[in-house]
Structure 1
Amino acid sequence: MPLDRSSAGDPARTLELLWRVPAGTPRRGPRKRLDIDAVVAVAIGLADADGLDAVTMRRVAQRLGVVPMTLYTYVPGKAELLDLMLDTAYLRMSRTDTAGRPWRDRLTAVAEENRALFEAHPWAATISTGRPPLGPGMMAKYEHELSALDGLGLHDVEMDAALTFLLTFVQANARSAAEARQVRQDSAMDDEQWWAANAPVLDRVLDPGAYPTAARVGSAAGAAQRAAYSPEHAWEFGLRRVLDGLAALIDGRAGSVETGPGAR
């Protein structure tokens, strides 16, 4: 299965595009009708509506009213376009000013900002960013998010790892939430309706005596969440556990210092 990942195109050209560096000597001829921002805006609109598979150079060109070959004079291909889309989404993210607040509040804000990003642009959660696009959006995002961990007694590598730990949870939760929405859409029924429709068959084939723990826990979780899986419950439970895990590192660090109102 193909993997959508960042930085899969020509790295030099991608960086030039991300930072809007002019490529070589300007060509003579008619003035260009489009610009990169217009191309990226259309691509993001297609991805938001129909997912990344809908983003092809041909479809973007059609939306812009140009032939596909014209589009290649702005962006070399889909790989570079994907980096531009992702960096633009990062650049437009909301960034909460949490200066002076306790570290848990600051990291919660970072988590919620990224969750909002993935809700607005579900496709962004599906992209592997092991090699992130180092554009202005990515750098502004990274700088902002690291500030939530600065001054806590962590060394630089620990700050980066702690942020990765938090954001990996957020991305995984976003993917699961998107999958749950897709299942509901494809089946044309919510989880309660699905379980009610299939309960008679399940009652015949599943023996609670053979799986006593699974039956007990599954019934309790299903009743509490009104589904086998609740993205909202997974978010609230998981974020607390992530912060608790980081507390073992941050609060236990000798000489850890918080500054500002409400600090420990």
Structure 2
Amino acid sequence: MNAERTGSGEPSTTLALLWGEPIAPRKGPARSITVEQVVDAALRMADEGGLAAVTMRAVAERVGVSAMSVYTYVPGKPELLDLMVDALYARMRRDPWHEASWRERVEKIAASNRSLLDAHPWLTEIAALSRPPLGPGVMAKYEHELAAFDGAGLADADVDAALTFVLGFVHSHCRAAHDAERATTDTAMSDAEWWAANQPILARAFDAEAYPRAVRIGAAAGAAQGAAWSAGRAWEFGLSRVLDGLAMLIDGR
């Protein structure tokens, strides 16, 4: 079992922690820190060094407790990851929807989730849509985003499916964007520099007679977006198609 995903901890323990309930009777001296402090420390470490930097021992050192005592606050990393995700969801801004159209509302949902994933790239590695941590942050986020479809005329099951469709696109896009950023960092070369460095090989590989469409369309795309792939262009094109698809379902009724 992969512990680096939401929903991989012991369910009853995780839910108790998420909702601030005691997980077991406890004896001994009063606690010197809170679960919230443990979670905040883990969030800072993940943002600074990625998920690999978040170990129970390292978190204990960050908050100033022993490696063993940190387990009395959070029993393990699987539960800690759920708490981290729920905390970030709880802190998302949620303005009233007012009179905006369903399309404007869904665009805002997409943009806010993109901003969250861009600010915390490690989230794309662990936040499973199928097993979200069912804490107060997740529930508040879900309730607010479902309300974006109020008045759209969809059945309840279709509202859930539509929201999942939108969030799936955002998650996929952000993961691709993060992969592209890592490729640039790992090679210490921009896309333009990479293409220029490999030009002699590419000139031989891009045989216009053997691959007429790949050469013609690839050149047009590269010229339009300044690279083989553009996060900005992919976002604008993809989100528009997502919204157009939902419009066929909603406006076509």
TM-score of the superposition, structure 2-length normalised?
Answer: 0.96
Q: Give distance in 1, aligned partners of 2:178 and 2:154.
A: 34
Using the TM superposition, give the Cα deviation of residue 26 of structure 1 relative to its aligned residue in structure 2, in angstroms.
4.4
Larger deviation, residues 140-149 vs 183-192: 183-192
Residue 95 (1) aligns with residue 94 (2): yes
Deviation at 1:63, TM superposition (A): 1.4
Deviation at 1:3, TM superposition (A): 6.7
Aligned residues: percent identity? Answer: 55
In structure 2, the partner of 1:258 is: none
- Would the aligned equivalents of 2:18 and 2:135 in 1 still touch at CA under 8 Å? yes
2:1 pairs with 1:23: no
What displacement does 1:97 show?
2.7
Which residue does 2:223 correspond to in 1?
Answer: 223
Deviates more, 1:102-111 or 1:121-130: 121-130
Query: 1:1-264 maps to which residues of 2 (within 5 A)?
Result: 2=2, 4-27=4-27, 29-127=28-126, 128-253=128-253
Does the CA-based 8 Å contact 2:3-2:78 persist in structure 1? no
Q: Which amino acid aligns with 1:66?
A: V
Distance in 1 (CA, whole Å) between partners of 2:135 and 2:192 is 44
SS class of match (1:145)? helix
Q: Which has the higher contact order (CA 8 A, sep 6+)?
A: 1
Aligned partner letter, 2:73: Y
Alpha-carbon shift at residue 204 of structure 1 (Å): 2.9
Supply the distance in 2 between the matched residues of 1:154 and 1:44 (Cα, whole angstroms). Answer: 37
Q: CA RMSD in A?
A: 1.4
**Contact map agreement 1:191 1:227 (CA 8 A) in 2:** yes
Aligned-partner SS, 1:122 = coil
The letter of the residue matching 1:60 is V
Distance 2:90 2:214 in 1: 45
Distance of 2:100 and 2:205 partners within structure 1: 54
Secondary structure at 1:68 match in 2: coil
In the comparison of the two structures, how many residue pairs are matched?
252
Structure 1, 16-25 or 87-96: larger mean CA deviation: 16-25
Q: Contact (CA 8 Å) 1:89, 1:137: kept in 2 or not?
A: yes
Structure 2 unaligned segments of length 5 or more: list them: none
Matches of 1:130 and 1:80, distance apart in 2: 16
Question: Counterpart amino acid of 1:47?
Answer: A
Deviation at 1:206, TM superposition (A): 3.0
Who is 1:261 aligned against? Answer: none
Deviates more, 1:48-57 or 1:75-84: 48-57
